[in-house]
Amino acid sequence: MTDPRPVLVIHGGAGTIARSAAGRDGEAPYHAALSEILAVGEICLREGGSALEAVAIAVDLLEECPLFNAGHGAVFTSAGTHELDAAIMDGATLRAGAVAGLGRVRRPGRAARAVMDEGTHVLLAGEGAEDFCRRRGLEMVAPDFFSTEARRRQLAAAQEGGRISLDHDENAPLDERQKFGTVGAVALDRHGHLAALTSTGGMTNKRPGRIGDTPLIGAGTYADDRTAAVSCTGTGEVFIRAAAAHDVCARMAYAGLGLEEAAQAVVRDALTPLGGQGGLIAVDARGNVAMPFNTAGMYRGLVRAGDAPTTAIF
């Protein structure tokens, strides 16, 4: 059996995106950002980097890009603050780490990795998580580091309308009123190992202390070399109730489904009947990729070692 060909898959959120309102000018920045991030990840995998390293690199860059709701450019809570969550999982060992409710750690994905590497706990939240990150030497920032004017306008619009918004400004070029703001990456390396990493700023105007599916292992993030690596984006409460990320792997392990069939079944049969909107990205140990969603679009892309990146929205 030949070694699997490394692959990296990323997403920048899913949602009801109006193609007619987007136009090429509106779509272009997203395609460019996704392509640039995939290209960096491809170098990592092509040069022998692990799946864990590849997803970490990809999410680092996604968190620093204000187009996406994670890290710099994260959305605001109803209190005008930022609360960021992230989770990572190593498919080779089933080790996992997660953080929730961060407001001063620059890169939540790295914080999740630090929790996993330290190994005592899986999920740390709030002040305790930030103290842990500080002691581990992670970069800390002032809370307004994450703020952008576009997000402030989005919060004002949500509060004026008395609603909780899942991402982006009311007048964004891709009509992102229904865009679910999460970023994520899954990867397969040359040794056949899988990894998944997901990061989010949550929902605009959410209640302080709300935690969605992203940092919950098995809900928004999961990886197991025996089945697949999965990163989800969507209505977090429903993804939690459906244990969506793990459900993909369970359908493969216990029902013998292939990756595409299992992923589609979770979105179609588990999430949709509960009112869950969004999607997921997944890769298995053979390099098969699935990217199902039940919204009009999902920011996504993939790259295989030695190839150029491909990206899509609709």
pLDDT digits over 244-298, tens only? 999 999 999 999 999 999 999 999 999 999 999 999 999 999 999 999 999 989 9
Q: Inform me whether the pLDDT recorded for 311 exceeds 80.
A: yes
Q: What are 76-79's contacts with CB under 8 Å, separation 24+?
A: 76/147, 76/151, 76/152, 76/154, 76/155, 76/204, 76/205, 77/202, 77/205, 77/206, 77/207, 77/208, 77/210, 78/159, 78/205, 78/206, 78/207, 78/208, 79/208
The CATH superfamily holding the domain 7-312 is (Glycosyl)asparaginase (3.60.20.30)
pLDDT digits over 28-58, tens only? 999 999 999 999 999 999 999 999 999 999 9
Domain range list for the chain: 7-312
| Residues with a known catalytic role | 182
pLDDT digits over 4-26, tens only? 899 999 999 987 555 555 555 67
Which residue's entry shows tokens 């990061």? 199
Q: What's this model's pTM, rounded to 2 decimal places?
A: 0.92
